[in-house]
Structure formats: structure tokens, C-alpha cells
Structure 1
Amino acid sequence: MVLFPDWLVAWMPSLLVIGIGLGIAPLLPRSNGWMRLAMMLVAGFFSLRYLTWRVTETIAPPGFTLDAFVSWSFAFIEAMTIVSSISAFLVLSRHRSRSADADANLPWVETAQPSVAILVATYNEEWPVLERTLAGAMASQYANKTIHVLDDGRRDWLRDRCAALGVEHVTRPDNAHGKAGNINHFLRQLRERGREVDFVAVLDADFVPHQDFLTRTLALFADSKIGLVQTPQHFFNPDPIQHNLGISRSYPDEQRFFFDHMQPARDGWDIAVCCGTSSIVRWTALDAIGDFPTASVTEDYMLTSVLKMKGYSTAYLNEPLSEGLAPEGLKEYITQRSRWCLGLMQIVRSSAGPFSREPLRLRDRWSVLDSCLYWLTTFPFKIACIVYPLLYWYFGVTVVDARLYDVISYFGPYYLATMMFLNFVSVGMFVPIVNDISQLVGAWEISRSALTGLVKPHGHAFKVTMKGGDRDRIVIQWPIMRRFLAAFVLTVVGLLIGLTSDYLFDAHAGEGKAVILFWTLYNLLVLAGTMLVCVELPRTASILRSRPEQVEVVVDGRRRMAWLTDIHAEALRLRGLSLPLGTRFICRIPEVGEVEAEVTLSLDASLDASIALTPAQREDLIEKLHTRSGVPGTAAVAAAGLGAGLLRRIIAGTVR
């Protein structure tokens, strides 16, 4: 006697996961370690269940056949990706917040008043970018500090600007070892002058510290075992994924998961890592290790491992204490992530790697190996997911030999449990398709960097991520888009062949034809979205304000009120006001004063205007926008706004 039909039996595991995700998970405290562990075990169980099924029941028989090669190779890539995911799940099963420690130790900072050297490493950034950072450093509420601009571009104009601000400008005769070499050169100079300090704070040229950055981070150093304190990176402008998809106000930047959720989890295991900017390191710890390591282009991550060898730990203070400029161009975005991948592979091959004979704890080795697995599996797997279905459509190769009900029974709950756990720990940050787009767009370059770094770890120059510049027109990144366009066309043609001919689709797919069809249609959505990202839209204003601010506008002597929604040093955007092009007016902005403006774009009840600020107003605006406590940008997913933004982008081709 059959109690349940086959289709219901197949869906039962997925329904169980859905019930846990919708009925139980929302009631559990996300910061509780036992609750995180329980949810991790659910995700881990269904992942291993799926992996076991894939390896034992869906792979072609061994042999020297194309089917066997394709089936086994894809299963291997997928298996390694699942192993990487389970490792990440285990990391995420813990969580730590150090804010209470910082609160408790503030009296120590006020009493000891240790000396701090703020280092701003720069190469080719424009003055408006550097101006923000230096204004923020000078506005710090901490008194016992010095500010040093380490200029690897050796620019006379920057020397003069620094002199006017009373900030030290430092150059060196060469650019050896990139950013790490630049910092080490200055540290040697300090020692030669006999001006050693207690702590060294590192800021990228485009990162503005908040007024309480130093006081909050220094408080954790009351624990003598802490050698470095890292804080999260927040961004006041949208990254290329957000901007080009039109979802800047409804979808967080791509790094939010790592900084807001992965780093606190790593800190729970005492394996948090340095990420360069917005960090502060103990001088005696630098002395102990011989300054910043230069064996990797990601000297920041390696610094954590080298400090561990000398008994110093890295602490993570998950508070918004700085904000910076995300890469605005897609090429720069990909270059940055490829450098991170290359640097991690160099660390794997170094004395600080997971297989080193140096005195590293098992968890520290796991930390590096976990990061290595992420770079080695995530991005090649995204490429494989696009390429392997094409082998079926054009050559009849069976990638996954499985019945539809089995796929529903095993893959369904695995995928849902993974999404459930990740969204449980990240408060709903993982959105299918959008998440795949963000990983696919740079998958080719990142995968190449991973292989290059493992095979040839030495001899790679540090590639600077370009920031700023003129971005007032549409730019199509054809060199990047071509591969996605080719994959899209090949997928559409293959699909049409399969649907209009019984040669492959009916004869070889069996019950799995619905699976390959769904897989292909999903790929087309991801590829279409990735191509949209390759169309870079103009950027008129660069500041993402979380709340509009009401301001007074004076036009021809008449007072009107409007909402200030965006502003930077050259332009502003107002809502609730319509004026003809070329109209001059005065905008009274709290804490900045009366600003002269001229309308450059007028759309219904909103407008853009160029503005002219005095030097004092520029400084006041920077302090108002970037140095106060609070989180810039978008911190959480807004489902309705996300859908609306994507729809507007697809239909109208604009973010407005």
C-alpha cells in the first residue's frame, strides 16, 4: 500500500527545511552560539546527504569516455565547493562582539593616552579622494596622534597640500613591495629619528576615519595579547554590482557579508584577519615580526598569520568606525578581487600557510585553508555551471544522470538549507541570481589568479585599485561582456536545438530533461544580469545617504523647502522641487551654510545641481558626511526595492 505519491515523497525534505526556515529560524537569536550551531548542523546534514547521493548515484560509470570525464570532473568541482561551504558553515557557527570590551576599556585609553601614527598610503589618488581622508584624520577626537601621507607617487602638489594642512608628506626612492614596502620604509624612518610610537593606524587613501575611530580601537589594546585590531569597511558609494543593476538602495554592497557576519564569526574562533585599511597595530608587535610582511600582495591578511607566530592575536571590532570609496568601475572591482585571490594563494605557499612548519595553531591553519578553498572553488564552480550544460545541448553529454524526483529530494533541501542558514546568520542577505551575478562577473580573472598564485607565487607586482575619476557617461565593458554574451548566445542556440529536435533532448536526457531545462533557464537569467552589470551607468552623485535631509532653498528671494537626497563636493540632488535648467539658487544646508548652486538636470519633482563650496565649507561637508558615527550605504536587503530596481534597470536602462 502506497501511503504517499512519489511527488510528495520527493518534496518532503524540502518542505521540512521550509518549515524550519519560516517557522523556527525567525524565532531564534542569531547571536546565540547554540542556535547557530543547530542551524549549521541542519545545513551541514543536507549538504552531506546531497554530496553522498551525487557521488554514489549520479556519476557516469568509470571509463575513457566523454560522459565519464564530464560527469566526474563536474562532480569533483561541485564536491570541493560543498566542502568549502561546510567549512564556512562551521566558521559561521560562532559569533563574537567586542563592543562591550571597548566600552569597559575606554578609561584605560583616557588615562594612558598612547601615541598613534596614522599612515595614509597613496599612489595615484586624486586630491578630492585624499582630502576626505585627511580631513577625517584631523577631525579625530583623539589628541595624541600624528598624520603621515606616504606618497609612492612622489607628487609635488601633494607635498604642498600636506604642508598647508600641517601633515607630514613622505616619499621613497622606489616602489618596492607596493603598499607594504611603502609602510615599512616609513617605519624605518621613525626608528632612525628615535620617534617610535605605541600604535600604528593604517588607512587607505580613500578611507575616512570617524571621529571615534582611534578611541574605540585603542580600547581593545588593554589586553596585551592583542597585536592588531581590525574594523569593518563600509562604503559611502555603491559598488558596480549595486549601481549597474539599479539596486543601490535595496541591496548591500558585496563585502557586507564578510565584514558584518563572517569576520565576527571568525573572531569567535580567534581567527579574525587583518584587511588593511581601518586597522591599528601595536608597535612592539611590528618590532617582533620585522614590520609588514612583503611575501604577498595581500600583506594585511598575511600580517595576521605572522603575528600569530609571535603570540599576538587579531581582534575584530564590528563597529562602523570608517567609511571609504568602493571601486566605481567594473575593471577596478575585478582587479581588486583578483589581487586578493592572488595574495591568498601566495600566503598558502609561504611560511605562514596551512602546511608550514612554523608554530601556528590548527585553527590558524584552518583559517587560511578555508579562505583558500573559497577562492579555489567558488569561482571555478560558477564557470562550470555555465559551461557544462552546453556540453549536453551540443554533444549530448550527460552531466548529472538522475531522475527528476531524486533531484527534488536531494538537491532541493540541500539548496534550501544552505540559503536558510546563510540568511539566518546574515539577516536575509543572500538573494539567488543576484548573488550568482556578483560572483560570476569576475569568475574568470579570479580563477586565473588562483591558479597563477598556486603555481607561480612569486614575481607579481602590486596592482593598485583605481578610485575616483570622471564617470559621467555610459561605458560598456566589452572585453568583460564578450565572454558572457558568447555564453548567452550559445546557451540560447543550444536550448533551441534541444527543444526543436528530438536528437538530444528526448533521446538522451530521460527523466532529467526537466532538470537540464531548469538549469539552462536559470543560467540565462544569471548571464543576462551579468551582462547588465557590464553596462556601466553614469555616476552623478557619489554619496549614498540613508535618510533624506530637509533643506531650505532660496530662488529669486523666495524661500522653498526640499529634501536633500545626495550630495558631494561638486553636486547635490534635491527631491520635491522642480526648477528650469540653468536656474541659480541658494541651498541652506545644516552645518555647512549657504551654498551657491545651479540646476544641471531637472526631472519632474527632482533635480541635480552643481555647487560651489568655499574651502571651509568643503571641510565642514566632509566632516558632516563622513566622520560621524553611523553606517553609510545600504546595510540590508529590501525585497520590494530590489525587485523594483531590477525591473526599472531592465525596462528603462536607468537607476532613476
Structure 2
Amino acid sequence: MLSELGSSLVPLLLLGGVALLLPIFVRPTSNLHRSLLFAATIFLALRYAWWRGSQTLAPPGLTVDMFASWSLFLIEMLALAGSLSAFVIMSRIRLRSDEASENLGWWGEDEPRVAILIATYNEELDVLERTIVGAKSLRHANKEVMVLDDSRRDWLRDYCASQGVRYMRRPDNKGSKAGNINHALDRLAEDPVPPDFVAVLDADFVPHRGFISRTLALFHDPKVGLVQTPQHFFNADPIQHNLGLSRSYPDEQRFFFDHMQPSRDGWGIAFCCGTSSICRWTALRDIGGLPTESVTEDFMLTLALQDKGWTTAYLAEPLSEGLAPEGLKEYVTQRARWCLGLMQIARSSLGPMATNNLRLRDRWSVVDSVFFWMTSFPFRVAAVVYPLLYWYFNVIVVDASLTDVISIFGAYYLWTLVVLNLLSRGMVVPILNDVSQLIGAIPITRAAYTGMFRPNGHPFSVTAKGGDRTRIVIQWRMMAPFAILLGLTTFGLWLGILSDRFAFNDAGDGKWVILFWTIYNVVVLAMTCLACVELPRRERHIADQPERAIFATGDELRRQWIASLTLDTVRLRGRIYPIGTRGLLRIKDVGDVEAYVIAQTPDGTRLHLLPDDQQREALFLRFYADGDAPGVARAQTSALISDIARRLSFRTGTR
């Protein structure tokens, strides 16, 4: 047994050795290097699939073992097909920053006119004002900011008037967000001078100052109808935040926006993601505005443009930042809506099987997305459910020896992790990736099959923003299925190990496979339950680098270091002032802000800021419209381990 186990580890050791050398020789931006890496990945995946189908299934017959074994195999192979499609997509990449730099100002002296549309439904002023201020402050001069209010709020109309931006409302909410934008496009068409380009921002997304100039540069190609940029977030998503990983683990969408979309662009199948995009006016009029057949009108917009011969380009630069869903309910609702909308697209006139002018690659793009939504999440649920059949009913779903699992599945799994982390700068973290999929797997699976078989008649679900986030909230209904599965898995494992009457003692060599699988599931389910405990949040902005400020009290001026800064408070390192001390704090690019001391800290003082309207807008720009991308771009191993340990010790804080 030991000799067989040792020989099965040889392929993994060889792959581990190769993995250590890959960073020396591989350039992630080389399509040749990427193709070779993913060719090896696909080979190992097909080798694993052949082994699963030929050696691990229960024998044919009308038995429970056969039904369980073959059904899991089918679910797994469908998910694997989706993975193979993703591997092919990621074998190419296109980065357009150099192209944008080379074509800045291609239009000459006459700057194109750009309409910036901010669609809003129920957002509060503190969400909307930073977006409006950011849009007004874009460096592009020939622009018009338009706020499209689908809630018909008088206070918002008055605020827009005070800001000098155009306010628009319509008599009904037909077509939801797409209908709102289409109404604005029709009104723009009536203007004496319609725009040349139309940019779209969600109500909670603030553009960086160079957003217009950088994206317009790619329209030097007359075939480009739309340019999409990545979405970045100035707050942690619920999984990051609830697990205490906002400093060490990327948000759930970073892999898609930073790596999958540039790879899709390499194949010419990058797609619109709604906010932070800009479209050519003539292209929008050519297709009659945004499609309304799907609740994800953005993806469908790309297909409608392609159907008319226009292309979509992707500029992988941090040119905007917004608010990620702050709660788990909102997080899952948003993803279920994306899933539902994709199924509606698949069944629409622009679906892969419909009669239209889409290229084969565009049809593949939709099929790839369908496979992702319809297979990945059901497989994640199956992976935690099927082992229970073994512990409670002695049903063997994967009849395999430990040595085969190590040498075949282990080789495929290890190599895939190595390749994906090499090309994505360490974004794929086992367990955490499983948690992010499992936590929304049930409603997303329901949305996938509902949308595929009953695509019409579903309302548009708005992702709620803002609200009270100052308390610990346990999402009991979301946690319940995972807590039940965790209890069943743990109890089954305990029974199997300690009781002679249960299956653990009858599985031979395969018991080690099911044992490892079950223990892994216990960890994933426990982390998923922990993620359902929503921690308090508070706004926080850390200076990108140490920064000096001057605090003036009376006749005394003293230089201090800014440690943290928000719209309302600042923490200074240096002299400790008595509580209640009033003065002026001079902040770079903001001015002299009235402030007073509200607390003393071990190394300084905390002040409450009283900015005027102009200073408040300057702070908005400082926080959201300037600087690099917010958040974490890659997993940081040592910090990740430290943060997980801190979270498990229940030292949550309110970060």
C-alpha cells in the first residue's frame, strides 16, 4: 500500500517542480504561453474525465448505487465541459492600454460630445451625490451629465438643479433600467445637437477623471460600437467582509473583470456589463436602443450590436469604482438576476440557436455563460450532498482507490490551480472559491432553470444600496441549509468512524477518498455558515501613502500624519489634543476644513470634520475619482491566514 501511494505521488511531485519553474519562463501576456499551459490543462481534464467514466462508476443495473453514481458523474461532466470552455477562452488575452495611449485625441480639435447617463431608482442622496460630482469632474469638457430618475423624486430634481446637471423622469417604469435609458436616448435624439457617444454609470459608480478620454481612444476603430471597462469596488463584498478578509482576499468579481474579460476580448467576445461603459451614438440608434427582452440588458446589448456588425472592446484599466452589494441578500439577488437574464438571452431572438447574424464565437460566448450558470452551482451543491449517501445509506458514488485519485484527479486539480494562479496573480484560493459559489448556489440554480424553461414574466430586481449596516445580523434563512448539511456531514462522519454498523468500515481503500472529501466539505460548510453572519460596517478610507496635514488651533500650527480619513472623521498621528479642541485642518487638494477633537488615541487624535459643500465635493473626488484601483488585486497568503485566524477567534471589529 505504501509503495503504491508513493508511486502515485510522483506525478504530483513532478508537477510541483514544474510549477516552481513556470514563473521564470512564462509570460502571462503571451498567447503562445497561455495556449500551451491550457493545452496541458485540457489534456489532464480529459484524462480525468475518461478515468471517471471508465473506472469509478457503479456497474449498470437498476440500483440506487448506479443512479447516484451516474447522476453525480453527469453533473460533474457538465460542469467540466463549462471549465473546458473557460480554459479555451483563457488561452488568449488582449490588453488595450497601449492602443488607448497611442490613440488619445484621435478626433482632432473638435472634441466629441458625450452624454453621461446615471440611471437611478431608489438610491439615497449620499449614494447619488458622489456619482454626480464625479461625473461633473471628468476631464472631458464637451459633456452633459444626465440623471434618469425612475422614482420621480422632487428632492433629486432640486439637487440636480443645484449641481447644474440635467434631470429627467418618465411617466412609467416600463422596461426597467433599459427602458429608462431608452427614454433618455429618445429625448437626446430630439436635442438640436445629439451626442456622439453615450456613457452609462450606475447610480453608485464614480468615474475616475480619465474615464472618458481613455475609453474614447478605442473608438478610433470605426467598427467599435461599445467600450467596456472593469468594475472596481471601494467597499468589501459580503464574503470578504463577513469572513474578515477585506485586506487579504480579492472581491468575487476581480477574476472576471481582470482576467476573464481581457481573455474574452482576445477572442472578440468581451461583453457589456452595464455601468462604466460607453457606446457610439450611431450604434445605439442603429439597434434601436437597449434591448428589453432580458433583465440583463447589458450582455444582450453586446449581442444586438454584434448582430448589426458592431464590435465591443474591453479596456482593462481602473477607470471607475462603485459600491459592491453590502449584504448577502443583495449579493445573491444580484447574481440570481444575472443568471436569470442570461437564460432569457439564450431563449431570445439573439440566442445561440436563433436565426440571426451572430458569429459562431458570439454563440459560443452565450453557450459558455449558460454552462457556467447551469452547471457550476448545481455541482457545488452536489459535491456536499452526495457524500451523505455513503455515510447514511452505504451508497458508493465514486468507486476509486486512493492512489488513482491522487495520480489522476490530484494531478489535474494541482495543475489547474497552478496555471490559474500563475495567470491571475494568485486569485484562485481553494475553499474560499467554493464558499463564494456555494453561498448563492440554491437561488442561482433555481433562477437558471426557471429562466431557461420559463423565461418571460420576471420582474427586474434592483440591488438595494445603503441602509443600516451598524449591527451584526445573522442571515438565518440563508444559513439554514448549510447548517443542516454541516450537521448531517459531521454526524455521518462521526458515525462512520466510531460505529461498526456504518459504511466507513466497509469501503476498503476507498474510505480514504470519502474521508478526505467529507472533511473538506465540513470546512467549506463551516466557512459558508460563518459567512452568513454579517458583521457591522463603517466607511473607511486609508491614505494610499503617509500624508502630512496641518492642524491649526488658535495661533499654533502643527504638522501631523493622516492615518485614516473619511468624509466626517480623520485620525491624526502626532500630538494628542484635549477633547473639544477646535481648529482648521489643512488637507491637500481639499483646503482648510473646520474640525474639532472627539477622541484621543494612543498615538494621536481623532477629529470630526465639518466640510463645506465645496470641500465635501473635493473629498468625494479624493476618495473615488483619483488614484489607483481600490481593494485587493490578489490573495496575500500570510495576511489571508492571519485574517482567517482573527475571524475564527471572533475578533470581528467593524472594518
Which of 303, 307, 311 pairs up with 1:305?
Answer: 303
Is structure 2 residue 467 aligned with structure 1 residue 481?
Answer: no
Q: Distance in 2 between matches of 1:168 and 1:653?
A: 47
Distance 1:246 1:579, change over 3 A: farther
Contact 2:352 2:367 in 1 (8 A): yes
Match of 1:398 among 392, 396, 399: 396
Change (3 A) 1:242 1:452: same
Matched residue, 2:566: 568
2: distance between equivalents of 1:79 and 1:295? 31
Q: Aligned equivalents of 1:90 and 1:485: distance in 2? A: 37
Q: Which one of the candidate residues 89, 96, 99 is aligned to 1:98?
A: 96
Unaligned runs of 5+ in 2: none
2:418 aligned with 1:459:
no
Deviation, 1:267, is: 0.5
Match of 1:635 in 2: 633
The C-alpha deviation readout for 1:234-275, integer Å capped at 9, x for no partner, is 111111111111111111111111111111110000000000
Structure 2 CA distance, aligned partners of 1:150 and 1:449? Answer: 29
Give the structure 1 partner of residue 406 of structure 2.
Answer: 408
How has the CA–CA distance of structure 1 residues 53 and 188 changed in structure 2, closer, same or farther, with 3 Å as cutoff?
same
Determine the structure 1 residue equivalent to 2:292. Answer: 294
Contact 1:92 1:425 in 2 (8 A): no
Amino acid across the alignment from 1:313 = T
Say whether residues 1:539 and 2:537 are aligned partners. Answer: yes
Say whether the 8 Å CA contact 2:392–2:503 is kept in structure 1: no
Most deviating of 187-196 and 146-155: 187-196
In structure 2, give the amino acid aligned to 1:222: H
CA contact (8 A) 2:231 2:321 kept: yes
Counterpart residue type for residue 357 of structure 2 = P
How far did residue 357 of structure 1 move? 1.3
Name the SS for the 2:524 alignment partner. Answer: helix
Conserved in 2, the CA contact under 8 Å of 1:544 and 1:632? no
The verdict on how the C-alpha distance between 1:221 and 1:400 changes in structure 2, with shifts beyond 3 A counting, is: same
2:58, 2:304 → 1: CA distance? 46
Q: CA deviation at 1:566?
A: 3.9
Number of the residue aligned with 1:217: 215
* CA drift at 1:583: 7.0
- The count of corresponding residues between Structure 1 and Structure 2 is 654
Partners of 2:497 and 2:505 within 8 A in 1: no
| Contact 1:586-1:596 at 8 Å conserved across structures | yes
- In structure 2, distance between residues paired with 1:652 and 1:312: 53
Indicate which of 255, 258, 276 corresponds to 1:257: 255
Distance 1:355 1:596, change over 3 A: same
After the TM superposition, which residues 337-376 of structure 1 pair with which residues of structure 2 at under 5 Å, given as runs? 337-376=335-374
CA offsets per residue over residues 153-179 of structure 1, 9 Å max, x none? 110000000011111111111111111
Given the alignment, which residue of 42, 45, 67 partners 1:44? 42
SS state of the match for residue 218, structure 1? helix
Match for residue 172 of structure 1? 170
Secondary structure, aligned partner of 1:107: coil
- The structural deviation recorded for 1:570 is 3.0
Residue aligning to 1:139: 137
SS at 2:248's partner residue?
coil
Distance (Å, rounded) in 1 between the aligned partners of 2:358 and 2:308: 9
User: 1:92 offset after TM fit, Å?
Assistant: 0.4
CA contact (8 A) 2:255 2:427 kept: yes
In structure 2, C-alpha distance between the alignment counterparts of 1:487 and 1:126, rounded to whole Å: 39
1:213 counterpart letter in structure 2: F
Q: Secondary structure at the match of 2:412?
A: helix
Cα deviation, 1:464-521, whole Å, max 9, x if unaligned, reads 1111222111111111111111111111111111111122234432211111111111
For 2:442, the equivalent position in structure 1 comes to 444
Find the partner of 1:124 among 115, 122, 131. Answer: 122
| Pairs within 5 Å for 1:325-336 | 325-336=323-334
The aligned runs of 1:267-282 (5 Å cut-off) are 267-282=265-280
Deviation at 1:40, TM superposition (A): 0.5
Structure 1 runs not aligned, ≥5 long: none
Match for 2:179 among 174, 181, 190?
181
Alpha-carbon distance in structure 2 between the residues aligned to 1:453 and 1:21: 41
Aligned 8 A contact 1:237 1:544 in 2: no
Cα RMSD (Å): 2.2
- Structure 1 residue 638 displacement after superposition: 1.2
Measure, in 1, the Cα distance between the counterparts of 2:572 and 2:325: 25
Match of 1:162 in 2: 160
- The two structures have a TM-score, normalised by structure 1, of 0.95
1:493 aligns with 2:496: no
2:515 aligns to what SS in structure 1? helix
1:83 alignment counterpart: 81
Say whether the 8 Å CA contact 2:150–2:170 is kept in structure 1. Answer: yes
Q: Say which SS state the counterpart of residue 312 (structure 2) adopts.
A: strand
| 1:111 is the counterpart of 2:130 | no
Q: How far, CA to CA, are the matches of 1:549 and 1:390 in structure 2?
A: 56
Distance 1:377 1:607 in 2: 53
Residue 604 of structure 1 deviates from its aligned partner by 4.9
- How much does 1:146 deviate? 0.7
Distance apart, 1:309 and its partner CA: 0.6
Structure 2 vs 1, CA of residues 556 and 46 (structure 1 numbering), >3 Å: closer, same or farther? Answer: farther
Code of the residue aligned with 1:237 in structure 2: it is N
Aligned-pair CA distance for 1:13 = 1.9
* Cα deviation, residue 359, structure 1: 1.3
Q: Does the 8 Å CA contact 1:541/1:573 hold for their aligned counterparts?
A: no
State how far apart, in whole Å, the 1-side matches of 2:131 and 2:546 are.
Answer: 24
Q: Is the 8 A contact 1:229 1:280 kept in 2?
A: yes
Deviations 1:439-458 (Å, cap 9, x if unpaired)? 11111111111111101111
Residue in 1 that maps onto 2:312: 314
- 1:616-635 to 2 correspondences below 5 Å: 616-635=614-633
CA separation of 1:415 and 1:599: change in aligned 2, threshold 3 A: farther
The offset of 1:320, in angstroms, is 0.9
Work out which of the residue numbers 238, 241, 248 in structure 1 matches 2:239: 241
Preserved CA contact (<8 Å) 2:391 2:504: no
Residue 467 of structure 2 corresponds to: 469
Match of 1:5, SS state, is: helix
Tell whether the 8 Å contact from 1:177 to 1:294 is kept in structure 2 after alignment: yes
Instruction: State how far apart, in whole Å, the 1-side matches of 2:154 and 2:308 are.
Output: 40
Matched residues in 2 for 1:650 and 1:597: separation? 38
CA distance in 1, matches of 2:289, 2:469: 38
With 451-460 and 496-505 compared, the bigger mean Cα shift is at 496-505
After TM superposition, the structure 1 = structure 2 runs for residues 8-87 of structure 1, keeping only pairs within 5 Å, are 8-87=6-85
Kept after mapping to 1: 8 A contact 2:100/2:215: yes
- Between the aligned residues of both structures, percent identity stands at 55
In structure 2, the CA distance between the partners of 1:238 and 1:512, relative to structure 1 (3 Å rule), is same
Deviation of 1:598 (Å): 5.7
Corresponding residue SS for 1:491: helix
Q: How many Å separate the matches in 2 of 1:579 and 1:351?
A: 68
Compared CA separation, residues 77 and 128, structure 1 to 2 (3 A): same
1:386/1:608 CA distance change after superposition, 3 Å: farther
Instruction: Give how far 1:595 is off.
Output: 3.5
Structure-2 residue corresponding to 1:285: 283
Deviation at 1:118, TM superposition (A): 0.4
Residue 16 of structure 1 deviates from its aligned partner by 2.3
Change (3 A) 1:635 1:113: same
1:429 counterpart = 2:438: no
Q: Distance in 1 between matches of 2:519 and 2:317?
A: 41
Letter in 1 for 2:349: S
